[in-house]
Chains A and B, each alone.
Chain A
Protein backbone atom coordinates (compact mmCIF):
# COMPACT_ATOMS: atom_id res chain seq x y z
CA UNK A 1 0.00 0.00 0.00
CA UNK A 2 0.85 3.61 -0.18
CA UNK A 3 2.77 5.33 2.56
CA UNK A 4 1.51 8.46 4.25
CA UNK A 5 3.46 11.58 3.39
CA UNK A 6 5.11 14.44 5.20
CA UNK A 7 5.24 17.65 3.19
CA UNK A 8 7.46 20.55 4.12
CA UNK A 9 6.21 23.93 2.95
CA UNK A 10 8.29 27.03 2.38
CA UNK A 11 6.76 30.45 2.06
CA UNK A 12 8.70 32.92 -0.08
CA UNK A 13 7.75 36.56 -0.47
CA UNK A 14 10.04 37.58 -3.32
CA UNK A 15 13.14 38.07 -1.20
CA UNK A 16 12.75 36.14 2.04
CA UNK A 17 11.37 32.98 3.52
CA UNK A 18 8.57 33.67 5.90
CA UNK A 19 6.99 32.28 9.01
CA UNK A 20 3.23 32.58 8.91
CA UNK A 21 1.05 32.80 11.98
CA UNK A 22 -2.67 32.97 11.34
CA UNK A 23 -1.62 34.08 7.84
CA UNK A 24 0.31 37.07 9.14
CA UNK A 25 3.79 36.87 7.72
CA UNK A 26 7.06 37.42 9.48
CA UNK A 27 10.39 37.48 7.74
CA UNK A 28 12.75 34.69 8.77
CA UNK A 29 15.62 34.88 6.32
CA UNK A 30 16.78 34.75 2.75
CA UNK A 31 17.99 31.84 0.68
CA UNK A 32 21.31 31.82 2.58
CA UNK A 33 19.54 31.54 5.93
CA UNK A 34 17.45 28.70 4.61
CA UNK A 35 20.26 26.75 3.05
CA UNK A 36 22.30 27.18 6.23
CA UNK A 37 19.51 25.91 8.48
CA UNK A 38 17.88 23.39 6.18
CA UNK A 39 20.37 21.89 3.79
CA UNK A 40 17.77 20.22 1.62
CA UNK A 41 20.28 18.13 -0.22
CA UNK A 42 20.99 16.37 3.07
CA UNK A 43 17.68 16.63 4.94
CA UNK A 44 15.33 15.76 2.13
CA UNK A 45 15.26 12.08 3.05
CA UNK A 46 13.42 13.29 6.17
CA UNK A 47 10.51 14.58 4.11
CA UNK A 48 8.44 13.11 1.30
CA UNK A 49 7.61 16.25 -0.61
CA UNK A 50 8.55 19.88 -0.77
CA UNK A 51 6.06 22.67 -1.38
CA UNK A 52 7.17 26.23 -2.07
CA UNK A 53 4.60 28.99 -2.18
CA UNK A 54 5.04 32.50 -3.46
CA UNK A 55 3.25 34.47 -0.76
CA UNK A 56 4.23 37.93 -2.00
CA UNK A 57 1.46 40.27 -1.01
CA UNK A 58 2.09 42.72 -3.83
CA UNK A 59 3.07 42.00 -7.42
CA UNK A 60 4.66 38.59 -7.75
CA UNK A 61 8.13 38.33 -9.23
CA UNK A 62 8.18 34.83 -10.69
CA UNK A 63 11.79 35.14 -11.78
CA UNK A 64 12.93 35.78 -8.21
CA UNK A 65 10.64 33.03 -6.97
CA UNK A 66 11.93 30.45 -9.42
CA UNK A 67 15.54 31.45 -8.71
CA UNK A 68 14.89 30.76 -5.03
CA UNK A 69 13.17 27.48 -5.87
CA UNK A 70 16.16 26.35 -7.92
CA UNK A 71 18.60 27.35 -5.22
CA UNK A 72 16.69 25.62 -2.44
CA UNK A 73 15.83 22.42 -4.27
CA UNK A 74 19.24 21.80 -5.81
CA UNK A 75 20.50 18.35 -4.92
CA UNK A 76 17.13 17.34 -3.55
CA UNK A 77 15.12 14.76 -5.48
CA UNK A 78 11.67 14.95 -4.00
CA UNK A 79 8.29 15.83 -5.45
CA UNK A 80 7.92 19.58 -5.69
CA UNK A 81 4.72 21.58 -5.57
CA UNK A 82 4.75 25.27 -6.44
CA UNK A 83 2.06 27.87 -6.19
CA UNK A 84 0.86 31.19 -4.95
CA UNK A 85 -1.14 33.64 -7.03
CA UNK A 86 -1.68 31.46 -10.07
CA UNK A 87 -4.37 33.16 -12.13
CA UNK A 88 -3.72 31.97 -15.65
CA UNK A 89 -2.73 28.91 -17.61
CA UNK A 90 0.58 30.34 -18.82
CA UNK A 91 1.73 30.93 -15.25
CA UNK A 92 0.72 27.43 -14.16
CA UNK A 93 2.60 25.94 -17.10
CA UNK A 94 5.66 28.07 -16.34
CA UNK A 95 5.80 26.59 -12.83
CA UNK A 96 5.29 23.06 -14.17
CA UNK A 97 8.09 23.57 -16.68
CA UNK A 98 10.36 24.91 -13.93
CA UNK A 99 10.42 21.71 -11.92
CA UNK A 100 7.00 21.64 -10.28
CA UNK A 101 5.23 18.31 -10.28
CA UNK A 102 2.12 19.99 -9.03
CA UNK A 103 0.79 23.49 -8.88
CA UNK A 104 -1.05 24.71 -5.83
CA UNK A 105 -4.13 26.75 -6.69
CA UNK A 106 -6.18 28.56 -4.10
CA UNK A 107 -7.93 31.84 -4.93
CA UNK A 108 -8.46 30.88 -8.58
CA UNK A 109 -10.52 27.89 -7.43
CA UNK A 110 -13.21 30.42 -6.63
CA UNK A 111 -12.51 33.22 -9.09
CA UNK A 112 -11.45 31.27 -12.20
CA UNK A 113 -12.60 27.66 -11.77
CA UNK A 114 -12.21 27.27 -15.55
CA UNK A 115 -8.44 27.48 -14.99
CA UNK A 116 -8.51 24.14 -13.18
CA UNK A 117 -9.97 22.51 -16.27
CA UNK A 118 -7.45 24.20 -18.54
CA UNK A 119 -4.49 23.07 -16.45
CA UNK A 120 -5.92 19.57 -16.07
CA UNK A 121 -6.40 19.21 -19.81
CA UNK A 122 -2.71 19.86 -20.45
CA UNK A 123 -0.97 18.66 -17.31
CA UNK A 124 -3.45 16.16 -15.92
CA UNK A 125 -5.59 16.51 -12.83
CA UNK A 126 -2.92 14.95 -10.65
CA UNK A 127 -0.78 18.04 -11.27
CA UNK A 128 -3.17 20.26 -9.34
CA UNK A 129 -3.46 20.70 -5.60
CA UNK A 130 -6.63 22.56 -4.71
CA UNK A 131 -5.75 24.57 -1.63
CA UNK A 132 -8.53 25.76 0.60
CA UNK A 133 -8.03 27.99 3.61
CA UNK A 134 -10.54 27.65 6.38
CA UNK A 135 -11.20 29.93 9.31
CA UNK A 136 -12.90 28.38 12.30
CA UNK A 137 -13.50 24.74 13.17
CA UNK A 138 -16.14 22.29 12.06
CA UNK A 139 -18.93 24.00 14.02
CA UNK A 140 -18.67 27.43 12.46
CA UNK A 141 -16.29 27.79 9.57
CA UNK A 142 -15.67 30.07 6.67
CA UNK A 143 -13.70 29.53 3.47
CA UNK A 144 -11.24 32.35 2.82
CA UNK A 145 -9.19 33.29 -0.23
CA UNK A 146 -6.55 35.82 -1.24
CA UNK A 147 -4.12 34.95 1.57
CA UNK A 148 -6.97 34.58 4.02
CA UNK A 149 -8.10 38.17 3.46
CA UNK A 150 -11.37 37.65 1.61
CA UNK A 151 -14.31 35.46 2.59
CA UNK A 152 -15.67 33.05 -0.01
CA UNK A 153 -18.59 31.84 2.06
CA UNK A 154 -19.52 30.14 5.30
CA UNK A 155 -21.36 27.19 3.74
CA UNK A 156 -18.03 25.41 3.86
CA UNK A 157 -19.36 21.88 3.35
CA UNK A 158 -21.27 22.93 0.22
CA UNK A 159 -18.33 24.89 -1.16
CA UNK A 160 -16.01 21.92 -0.70
CA UNK A 161 -18.62 19.62 -2.20
CA UNK A 162 -18.94 21.78 -5.31
CA UNK A 163 -15.17 22.01 -5.57
CA UNK A 164 -14.99 18.23 -5.51
CA UNK A 165 -16.31 18.12 -9.07
CA UNK A 166 -13.38 20.09 -10.49
CA UNK A 167 -10.61 18.05 -12.10
CA UNK A 168 -7.84 18.44 -9.52
CA UNK A 169 -5.74 15.80 -7.79
CA UNK A 170 -5.38 16.54 -4.11
CA UNK A 171 -7.12 18.84 -1.70
CA UNK A 172 -5.10 20.73 0.88
CA UNK A 173 -7.05 22.04 3.84
CA UNK A 174 -5.29 24.69 5.87
CA UNK A 175 -6.62 25.98 9.15
CA UNK A 176 -6.02 29.71 9.41
CA UNK A 177 -6.61 29.62 13.17
CA UNK A 178 -4.00 26.93 13.74
CA UNK A 179 -1.51 28.22 11.14
CA UNK A 180 1.88 28.82 12.72
CA UNK A 181 0.64 28.23 16.26
CA UNK A 182 2.26 24.83 16.69
CA UNK A 183 -0.85 23.74 18.59
CA UNK A 184 -1.69 20.81 16.38
CA UNK A 185 -3.83 20.29 13.30
CA UNK A 186 -7.52 21.21 13.10
CA UNK A 187 -8.91 17.71 12.63
CA UNK A 188 -12.43 19.16 12.63
CA UNK A 189 -11.88 20.42 9.07
CA UNK A 190 -12.20 16.83 7.91
CA UNK A 191 -15.79 16.75 9.15
CA UNK A 192 -16.63 19.35 6.51
CA UNK A 193 -15.96 16.85 3.75
CA UNK A 194 -18.79 14.71 2.50
CA UNK A 195 -18.16 10.99 2.88
CA UNK A 196 -18.26 10.68 -0.92
CA UNK A 197 -15.35 13.15 -1.32
CA UNK A 198 -12.79 11.17 -3.26
CA UNK A 199 -9.66 13.30 -3.52
CA UNK A 200 -6.59 12.64 -1.36
CA UNK A 201 -6.46 15.14 1.49
CA UNK A 202 -3.44 17.07 2.75
CA UNK A 203 -3.98 18.63 6.15
CA UNK A 204 -2.04 21.74 7.10
CA UNK A 205 -1.86 24.42 9.75
CA UNK A 206 -0.77 23.93 13.33
CA UNK A 207 1.98 21.31 13.21
CA UNK A 208 4.57 22.03 15.86
CA UNK A 209 6.10 18.62 16.50
CA UNK A 210 6.18 15.01 15.39
CA UNK A 211 3.21 14.06 17.53
CA UNK A 212 0.97 16.45 15.55
CA UNK A 213 2.09 14.92 12.28
CA UNK A 214 1.33 11.45 13.65
CA UNK A 215 -2.10 12.59 14.87
CA UNK A 216 -2.95 13.84 11.39
CA UNK A 217 -1.66 10.81 9.53
CA UNK A 218 -3.43 8.43 11.90
CA UNK A 219 -6.77 9.60 10.48
CA UNK A 220 -7.67 7.40 7.48
CA UNK A 221 -9.06 10.42 5.63
CA UNK A 222 -5.64 12.10 5.62
CA UNK A 223 -3.00 11.06 3.09
CA UNK A 224 -0.46 13.75 3.92
CA UNK A 225 0.37 16.35 6.52
CA UNK A 226 2.09 19.58 5.59
CA UNK A 227 4.00 21.90 7.86
CA UNK A 228 5.35 25.34 7.09
CA UNK A 229 6.71 25.81 10.57
CA UNK A 230 10.12 27.08 9.61
CA UNK A 231 11.34 27.62 13.14
CA UNK A 232 10.40 24.34 14.80
CA UNK A 233 12.37 22.02 12.54
CA UNK A 234 15.73 23.70 11.98
CA UNK A 235 18.87 21.59 11.80
CA UNK A 236 17.93 17.93 12.11
CA UNK A 237 14.43 18.78 13.36
CA UNK A 238 12.70 17.21 10.39
CA UNK A 239 14.66 13.98 10.72
CA UNK A 240 13.85 13.79 14.41
CA UNK A 241 10.18 14.51 13.80
CA UNK A 242 10.06 11.81 11.14
CA UNK A 243 11.64 9.31 13.51
CA UNK A 244 9.14 10.31 16.18
CA UNK A 245 6.23 9.76 13.76
CA UNK A 246 7.60 6.36 12.77
CA UNK A 247 8.04 5.38 16.42
CA UNK A 248 4.32 6.06 16.88
CA UNK A 249 3.57 3.33 14.38
CA UNK A 250 2.93 5.53 11.35
CA UNK A 251 4.41 4.06 8.22
CA UNK A 252 6.43 6.98 6.84
CA UNK A 253 8.83 5.32 4.46
CA UNK A 254 12.59 5.24 4.65
CA UNK A 255 14.41 6.97 1.81
CA UNK A 256 17.94 6.36 0.62
CA UNK A 257 19.91 9.61 0.81
CA UNK A 258 20.60 11.03 -2.64
CA UNK A 259 24.22 11.43 -1.60
CA UNK A 260 24.55 7.70 -1.10
CA UNK A 261 24.38 7.11 -4.84
CA UNK A 262 27.85 7.43 -6.30
CA UNK A 263 28.13 9.51 -9.44
CA UNK A 264 29.36 7.93 -12.62
CA UNK A 265 32.34 9.54 -14.24
CA UNK A 266 31.15 11.94 -16.93
CA UNK A 267 29.37 9.89 -19.57
CA UNK A 268 31.81 7.06 -18.90
CA UNK A 269 34.44 8.20 -21.35
CA UNK A 270 37.15 7.60 -18.80
CA UNK A 271 35.57 4.59 -17.15
CA UNK A 272 37.12 1.21 -17.86
CA UNK A 273 34.72 -1.26 -19.40
Chain B
Protein backbone atom coordinates (compact mmCIF):
# COMPACT_ATOMS: atom_id res chain seq x y z
CA UNK B 1 0.00 0.00 0.00
CA UNK B 2 1.19 3.48 -0.79
CA UNK B 3 2.26 5.55 2.15
CA UNK B 4 -0.09 8.37 2.97
CA UNK B 5 1.16 11.81 2.06
CA UNK B 6 -0.19 14.83 3.86
CA UNK B 7 -0.20 18.28 2.35
CA UNK B 8 -1.33 21.44 4.05
CA UNK B 9 -2.43 23.90 1.42
CA UNK B 10 -0.81 27.31 1.79
CA UNK B 11 -2.58 30.16 0.09
CA UNK B 12 -0.93 32.62 2.45
CA UNK B 13 -3.98 32.97 4.67
CA UNK B 14 -4.08 30.13 7.14
CA UNK B 15 -2.60 29.28 10.47
CA UNK B 16 -0.34 26.65 8.99
CA UNK B 17 2.06 26.45 11.89
CA UNK B 18 -0.65 25.26 14.27
CA UNK B 19 -1.95 22.66 11.86
CA UNK B 20 1.55 21.33 11.17
CA UNK B 21 2.23 21.06 14.93
CA UNK B 22 -1.06 19.31 15.55
CA UNK B 23 -0.33 16.78 12.80
CA UNK B 24 3.15 16.24 14.27
CA UNK B 25 1.58 15.58 17.66
CA UNK B 26 -0.48 12.74 16.21
CA UNK B 27 2.56 11.31 14.48
CA UNK B 28 1.82 12.54 10.98
CA UNK B 29 4.43 14.31 8.95
CA UNK B 30 2.69 16.98 6.92
CA UNK B 31 4.29 19.39 4.52
CA UNK B 32 2.98 22.71 3.35
CA UNK B 33 2.20 23.03 -0.33
CA UNK B 34 1.86 26.33 -2.12
CA UNK B 35 1.91 25.53 -5.79
CA UNK B 36 -0.75 23.94 -7.93
CA UNK B 37 1.54 21.39 -9.57
CA UNK B 38 2.47 19.81 -6.20
CA UNK B 39 -1.10 19.28 -5.03
CA UNK B 40 -1.53 16.06 -6.98
CA UNK B 41 1.13 14.16 -5.05
CA UNK B 42 -0.81 14.04 -1.77
CA UNK B 43 -3.27 11.45 -0.56
CA UNK B 44 -4.58 13.85 2.08
CA UNK B 45 -4.98 17.58 1.74
CA UNK B 46 -5.84 20.01 4.49
CA UNK B 47 -7.11 23.43 3.54
CA UNK B 48 -6.88 25.72 6.54
CA UNK B 49 -7.95 29.29 6.26
CA UNK B 50 -8.43 32.42 8.22
CA UNK B 51 -9.63 35.61 6.65
CA UNK B 52 -11.88 36.79 3.92
CA UNK B 53 -13.65 34.31 1.66
CA UNK B 54 -13.35 36.61 -1.33
CA UNK B 55 -9.59 36.99 -0.92
CA UNK B 56 -9.14 33.22 -0.53
CA UNK B 57 -11.37 32.50 -3.51
CA UNK B 58 -9.34 34.89 -5.67
CA UNK B 59 -6.10 33.26 -4.56
CA UNK B 60 -7.38 29.73 -5.21
CA UNK B 61 -8.33 30.83 -8.72
CA UNK B 62 -5.29 32.89 -9.62
CA UNK B 63 -2.77 30.29 -8.39
CA UNK B 64 -4.57 27.35 -10.00
CA UNK B 65 -4.56 25.67 -6.59
CA UNK B 66 -8.36 25.53 -6.52
CA UNK B 67 -8.49 23.61 -9.79
CA UNK B 68 -5.66 21.33 -8.63
CA UNK B 69 -7.55 20.51 -5.41
CA UNK B 70 -10.66 19.63 -7.38
CA UNK B 71 -8.54 17.39 -9.61
CA UNK B 72 -6.97 15.62 -6.62
CA UNK B 73 -10.33 14.99 -5.02
CA UNK B 74 -11.63 13.53 -8.30
CA UNK B 75 -8.59 11.22 -8.25
CA UNK B 76 -9.44 10.00 -4.74
CA UNK B 77 -7.57 12.29 -2.36
CA UNK B 78 -9.14 13.06 1.03
CA UNK B 79 -9.68 16.73 1.77
CA UNK B 80 -10.29 18.49 5.09
CA UNK B 81 -11.28 22.15 5.09
CA UNK B 82 -10.84 24.00 8.35
CA UNK B 83 -12.81 27.15 9.24
CA UNK B 84 -12.66 29.34 6.12
CA UNK B 85 -11.31 26.22 4.41
CA UNK B 86 -14.60 24.44 5.15
CA UNK B 87 -16.57 27.36 3.77
CA UNK B 88 -14.44 27.25 0.63
CA UNK B 89 -15.61 23.67 -0.03
CA UNK B 90 -19.04 25.08 -0.84
CA UNK B 91 -20.57 26.82 -3.82
CA UNK B 92 -20.38 30.47 -2.79
CA UNK B 93 -20.25 33.01 0.01
CA UNK B 94 -21.68 36.47 0.46
CA UNK B 95 -18.60 37.77 2.35
CA UNK B 96 -17.43 41.02 0.65
CA UNK B 97 -19.89 40.46 -2.19
CA UNK B 98 -20.70 37.08 -3.65
CA UNK B 99 -17.73 34.93 -4.64
CA UNK B 100 -17.37 31.32 -5.71
CA UNK B 101 -16.08 28.43 -3.65
CA UNK B 102 -14.57 25.15 -4.80
CA UNK B 103 -18.04 23.70 -5.35
CA UNK B 104 -17.15 20.29 -3.87
CA UNK B 105 -20.17 20.25 -1.57
CA UNK B 106 -23.40 22.00 -2.41
CA UNK B 107 -23.89 24.77 0.12
CA UNK B 108 -23.79 28.51 0.46
CA UNK B 109 -22.12 30.61 3.12
CA UNK B 110 -23.71 33.60 4.67
CA UNK B 111 -23.19 35.86 7.66
CA UNK B 112 -24.84 35.04 10.96
CA UNK B 113 -27.80 37.35 11.23
CA UNK B 114 -28.56 38.94 14.55
CA UNK B 115 -31.97 37.29 14.87
CA UNK B 116 -30.52 33.86 14.29
CA UNK B 117 -27.93 34.29 17.04
CA UNK B 118 -30.48 35.85 19.37
CA UNK B 119 -28.59 39.12 19.56
CA UNK B 120 -25.36 37.42 20.69
CA UNK B 121 -22.09 38.99 19.52
CA UNK B 122 -20.75 38.16 16.08
CA UNK B 123 -18.10 36.85 15.47
CA UNK B 124 -18.92 33.73 17.38
CA UNK B 125 -15.73 33.12 19.31
CA UNK B 126 -15.20 30.31 21.73
CA UNK B 127 -15.83 26.70 22.52
CA UNK B 128 -19.19 25.28 21.53
CA UNK B 129 -20.38 21.75 21.94
CA UNK B 130 -20.74 19.79 18.73
CA UNK B 131 -23.35 17.11 18.12
CA UNK B 132 -22.37 14.80 15.33
CA UNK B 133 -23.84 11.84 13.53
CA UNK B 134 -21.76 8.70 13.90
CA UNK B 135 -19.37 9.48 11.06
CA UNK B 136 -15.72 8.53 10.72
CA UNK B 137 -14.51 12.06 11.39
CA UNK B 138 -16.03 12.06 14.89
CA UNK B 139 -15.14 8.50 15.83
CA UNK B 140 -14.05 8.16 19.45
CA UNK B 141 -15.02 11.73 20.28
CA UNK B 142 -17.72 11.99 22.94
CA UNK B 143 -20.88 13.60 21.59
CA UNK B 144 -21.20 17.27 22.53
CA UNK B 145 -17.45 17.72 22.92
CA UNK B 146 -16.37 21.35 22.85
CA UNK B 147 -14.58 22.68 19.78
CA UNK B 148 -13.10 26.10 19.22
CA UNK B 149 -14.91 28.41 16.80
CA UNK B 150 -13.98 31.82 15.47
CA UNK B 151 -16.29 32.95 12.69
CA UNK B 152 -18.82 35.49 11.54
CA UNK B 153 -20.05 33.52 8.55
CA UNK B 154 -21.53 30.05 8.57
CA UNK B 155 -22.70 27.40 6.16
CA UNK B 156 -26.37 27.72 5.33
CA UNK B 157 -28.39 24.56 4.59
CA UNK B 158 -26.65 21.58 3.02
CA UNK B 159 -28.31 19.13 0.67
CA UNK B 160 -29.28 15.71 1.90
CA UNK B 161 -26.44 13.88 0.20
CA UNK B 162 -23.92 15.26 2.69
CA UNK B 163 -23.77 14.68 6.44
CA UNK B 164 -23.35 17.47 8.92
CA UNK B 165 -22.67 18.08 12.59
CA UNK B 166 -24.24 20.92 14.52
CA UNK B 167 -23.45 23.35 17.27
CA UNK B 168 -25.57 26.05 18.81
CA UNK B 169 -25.09 29.77 18.89
CA UNK B 170 -28.46 31.34 19.52
CA UNK B 171 -29.78 28.68 17.21
CA UNK B 172 -28.42 25.55 15.58
CA UNK B 173 -25.79 25.98 12.90
CA UNK B 174 -23.62 23.66 10.84
CA UNK B 175 -20.34 22.92 12.58
CA UNK B 176 -18.96 20.25 10.27
CA UNK B 177 -19.93 18.80 6.96
CA UNK B 178 -18.85 15.92 4.75
CA UNK B 179 -19.47 14.28 1.44
CA UNK B 180 -17.50 11.11 0.84
CA UNK B 181 -13.81 12.02 1.11
CA UNK B 182 -14.37 15.73 1.42
CA UNK B 183 -14.93 16.93 4.98
CA UNK B 184 -14.96 20.30 6.63
CA UNK B 185 -14.91 21.68 10.15
CA UNK B 186 -16.09 25.21 10.88
CA UNK B 187 -14.14 24.97 14.15
CA UNK B 188 -10.40 24.67 14.59
CA UNK B 189 -9.45 21.10 15.50
CA UNK B 190 -5.83 22.22 15.82
CA UNK B 191 -6.97 24.56 18.62
CA UNK B 192 -9.43 22.21 20.29
CA UNK B 193 -7.11 20.30 22.58
CA UNK B 194 -7.38 16.50 22.69
CA UNK B 195 -10.79 16.31 21.05
CA UNK B 196 -9.44 18.27 18.06
CA UNK B 197 -6.36 16.08 17.75
CA UNK B 198 -8.59 13.03 17.73
CA UNK B 199 -10.57 14.50 14.84
CA UNK B 200 -7.38 15.16 12.87
CA UNK B 201 -6.31 11.62 13.60
CA UNK B 202 -9.64 10.36 12.27
CA UNK B 203 -9.10 12.38 9.10
CA UNK B 204 -5.63 10.91 8.73
CA UNK B 205 -7.16 7.44 8.92
CA UNK B 206 -9.69 8.20 6.19
CA UNK B 207 -9.33 6.58 2.81
CA UNK B 208 -7.49 3.55 4.09
Binding site for B on A (CB under 8 A): 1-5, 44-45, 48, 74-75, 77-80, 96-102, 121-127, 169-170, 198-200, 223-224, 253-269, 273
Contact = CB atoms under 8 A, between A and B. Distances in A.
26 contacts: A1-B168, A1-B169, A2-B120, A2-B169, A79-B148, A79-B150, A98-B17, A99-B18, A124-B50, A126-B123, A169-B123, A169-B125, A170-B125, A223-B121, A223-B126, A253-B146, A254-B146, A255-B193, A256-B193, A261-B198, A261-B201, A263-B25, A264-B205, A265-B27, A266-B28, A266-B29
Contacts of B70: none
Contact of A223 (B125, B168, B201): B125
A79 B28 CA distance: 21
Given A48-B126, A266-B29, A78 B193 contact: yes
Contacts, number: 157
B125 A96 contact: no
B143 to A, nearest CB: 13
B76 interface: no
Interface stretch (B1-9, B156-164, B177-185): B1-9
Contact of B27 (A98, A127, A263): A263
Nearest to A3: B127
A267 B5 CA distance: 7
Nearest to A48: B127
Name, among A45, A97, A253, the residue most crowded by chain B CB atoms within 10 Å (CB to CB): A253
A162 B133 CA distance: 44
B52 to A, nearest CB: 6
B201 to A, nearest CB: 6
A264 B70 CA distance: 27
B197 interface: yes
A45 B145 CA distance: 13
Interface in B41-97: 50-52, 55, 84
A264 B201 CA distance: 8
A78 B146 CA distance: 12
Contacts of A262: 201
Name, among A101, A122, A260, A266, the residue most crowded by chain B CB atoms within 10 Å (CB to CB): A101
Nearest to B53: A124
B50 A258 contact: no
Given A2-B124, A75-B25, A126-B152, A268 B193 contact: no
Contacts of B39: none
B21 interface: yes
Given A126-B123, A261-B26, A261-B201, A101 B195 contact: no
B125 A126 contact: yes
Name, among A3, A123, A255, A269, the residue most crowded by chain B CB atoms within 10 Å (CB to CB): A255
Nearest to A197: B121
Contacts of B29: 266-267
Contact of A124 (B4, B18, B152): B152
Contacts of B174: none
Contacts of B151: 126
A261 B198 CA distance: 6
Contacts of A124: 50-52, 84, 123, 152
Contacts of B148: 48, 78-79
Interface in B169-208: 169, 188, 190-198, 201, 204-205, 208
A201 to B, nearest CB: 8
B17 A97 contact: yes
